[in-house]
Amino acid sequence: MKKRSVVLVTMLMIMVGSLFAQAPNPASDFQYSLNRAGNGVVITKYTGTGTTVNIPSKIEGFPVVEIGNSDNRAFASSRITSVIFPDTDIIIGTGAFSGSSLTSVTLPNTIKDIGTNAFAGCGELQTVTINMSVSDRNWNPSGIFGRSSAALVVHGNSAV
């Protein structure tokens, strides 16, 4: 009887949790273009109104491979407070989130690269969680986060 109750409670928790999981934002919330190779999407601007953004893994059938770049700082100075990245290979471009209202960021292990000042000037940023081994990455946190006073939490093989 006790085992059955535990199973039922676990199933209920999973069902309730899935009700609150945010679906990816629709393509209409972004301006985007194909990358130079023509095989992936670069998000160039956020045009949505929500403060929590769930980056889609695909737009128009193409994988999202980059968020912003040196020409288009996709979320710069936006009012977003939270961003959810897909579990696909993504590059976060130079200044992509600079000056935004982000309060916390969790970077999955699928982030391939992070451009200079990607999160610089995010005055509300309190916590950055990196879920990856950063030992093979040539990242300079001060170059990525600028003068942010955020606490850096690293989950993986080594700390920055």
Residue with tokens 């990607």: 118
Q: Evaluate whether residue 13 is within a structural domain.
A: no
Could you tell me the CATH number of the domain that includes residue 43?
3.80.10.10
- Rounded CA-CA distance 71/53 in Å is 21
- How do the residues of the chain divide into helix, strand and coil, expressed in percent and rounded to 5? 15, 30, 55
Domain span including residue 53:
24-155
Residue ranges in the chain whose pLDDT is less than 50: 5-20, 134-135, 157-160
| Residue 56 C-beta-side C-alpha neighbours within 13 Å | 21
**What is the rounded average pLDDT for all residues in the chain?**
79
Question: Percentage of the chain surpassing pLDDT 70?
Answer: 70
Q: pLDDT digits over 102-119, tens only?
A: 998 888 888 888 888 899
Residue 3 covered by a domain: no
Report the pLDDT value the prediction gives residue 129, as an integer from 0 to 100: 82
In a domain, 112, yes or no: yes
| Count of structural domains within the chain | 1
Amino acid of residue 59: I
CB atoms within 10 A of CB 27: 15
The answer to the question of residue 40 being in a domain is yes
Q: Residue 97: inside a domain, yes or no?
A: yes
In a domain, 69, yes or no: yes
Domain-embedded: residue 89: yes
Give the E-state strand segments of the chain in sequence order: 30-34, 41-46, 52-54, 58-59, 62-67, 82-84, 90-92, 104-107, 111-114, 127-131, 151-155
Q: Is the dihedral of CA 135, 137, 143, 147 positive or negative?
A: negative
Neighbours of 79 (CB within 10 A): 12
Q: What tokens were used for 9? A: 């409670």
Query: What's the pLDDT score for residue 156?
Result: 54
